[in-house]
Amino acid sequence: MKMPSKFNTYCPYCRDHEVHEVEKVKKGKSRGLNWIDRQKARRGAVGNRGKFSKVPGGDKPTKKINVRYRCTKCGKAHLRKGFRLAKFELAE
């Protein structure tokens, strides 16, 4: 899908329709601080690691994409619910 890099849409801060710039949200750095990561670390590297021994079932054909909408008037950005796309492009 090609998405316009700028378009007019609702800004929740200005409470009005303003021109917004579109930016893709980058994937955050995994810091390994989730409980599942700690649990995985406790199992060790040798032997049966229970549910962590399972081979992953494979990837979904499309990836969910988060897009940030930045208002050109107030400079604040807001997010909307992510959507699934095979390909994401920003048109000029």
Kindly state the DSSP code that residue 13 receives in the 8-state scheme.
T
Using alpha carbons, list the distances in angstroms from residue 72 to 16, 40, 68. Answer: 12, 44, 13
Binding of Zn ion at residue 19 (CB under 5 A)? no
Binding of Zn ion at residue 17 (CB under 5 A)? no
Cβ neighbours of residue 13 under 8 Å, at least 6 residues apart? Answer: 71, 74, 76, 78
Closest to Zn ion by CB, 14 or 25: 14
Binding of Zn ion at residue 7 (CB under 5 A)? no
- Footprint of Zn ion on residues 62-81 (CB under 5 A)? 71, 73-74
Binding site residues, Zn ion, CB under 5 A: 11, 13-14, 71, 73-74
